[in-house]
Amino acid sequence: GNSVTQMEGPVTLSEEAFLTINCTYTATGYPSLFWYVQYPGEGLQLLLKATKADDKGSNKGFEATYRKETTSFHLEKGSVQVSDSAVYFCALRYQAGTALIFGKGTTLSVSS
Amino acid sequence: EAGVAQSPRYKIIEKRQSVAFWCNPISGHATLYWYQQILGQGPKLLIQFQNNGVVDDSQLPKDRFSAERLKGVDSTLKIQPAKLEDSAVYLCASSGLKQGRDYGYTFGSGTRLTVV
């Protein structure tokens, strides 16, 4: 079936460090891929997305590239800030009109 | 544009009691989803509606959970009777097309249920 696997957390970094959160997926066909973020006490917010192979999604300094050959969609940021501390979820939609399938989430904690 | 509204924000009940959650989606969004998010895990789909019809309820524990979306707008999710393992955040989301454009998914703030 369709599924998403994320690296286990928590991830603890110092401010300005480089961030990578790994995400791999299993899906039939050509899914769309998403990263969502959940800040403490808030709801899920779309961070970025990519709808086809080799697409790069980007937002707020975060980037992720849809790699079909490795079935991956790793999230990266060159220099994290304390305000990036949150839980990050990788998700896929295997076809239009279907629900999102989420990974387990990765908690990021950034200290100054 | 107003977001997805959910109520209540918090609910504490004893096991074997019943509880209901309400969701009002984005105006015009045809598709509505209920997710269960257990602490430390990602959201898991419980049920998906398209207008007032059920598209996917394969992961809904139908012996105790029920949901309806009358008139294709608001939706209610009910648990009866509740178990301790139902403690979670229940998220509602909606999605739809407007003038042919896919506006993606919008999530509500959720209802945090604690069963004691």
**Looking at the complex, does the CB of residue A43 fall below 8 Å from at least one CB of chain B?**
yes
Tokens of A65: 């590239």
pLDDT of residue A39: 93
pLDDT of residue B100: 67
What is the per-residue DSSP string for A14-41? ETT--EEE-EEEE-SS--EEEEEEE-TT
pLDDT of residue B103: 66
| Terminal alpha carbon distance of chain B | 37
pLDDT of residue B96: 84
pLDDT higher than 80, residue A43: yes
In this prediction, residues B25-53 reach a mean pLDDT of 94
pLDDT of residue A29: 84
Q: Is B48 close to A99, i.e. CB distance below 8 A? A: yes
What is the three-class DSSP state of B89? Answer: strand
pLDDT higher than 70, residue B1: no
State the best of B4, B105, B109 to mutate against chain A, taking most chain A CBs within 10 Å: B105
- DSSP annotation of A61 reads T
Quickly tell me which residue has 């019943």 as its tokens. B18
- DSSP annotation of B71 reads G
In this prediction, residues B43-65 reach a mean pLDDT of 96
Interface of B with A (CB under 8 A): 31, 33, 40-45, 48, 50, 55-56, 91, 93, 102, 104-105, 107-110
pLDDT of residue B68: 96
Nearest-10 Cα torsion for A81, A83, A87, A88: -60
pLDDT > 70: what percent of chain B?
95
Q: Where are the beta strands (DSSP E) in B1-116?
A: 5-7, 10-13, 19-24, 31-37, 44-50, 53-56, 65-68, 75-79, 88-98, 101-107, 111-115
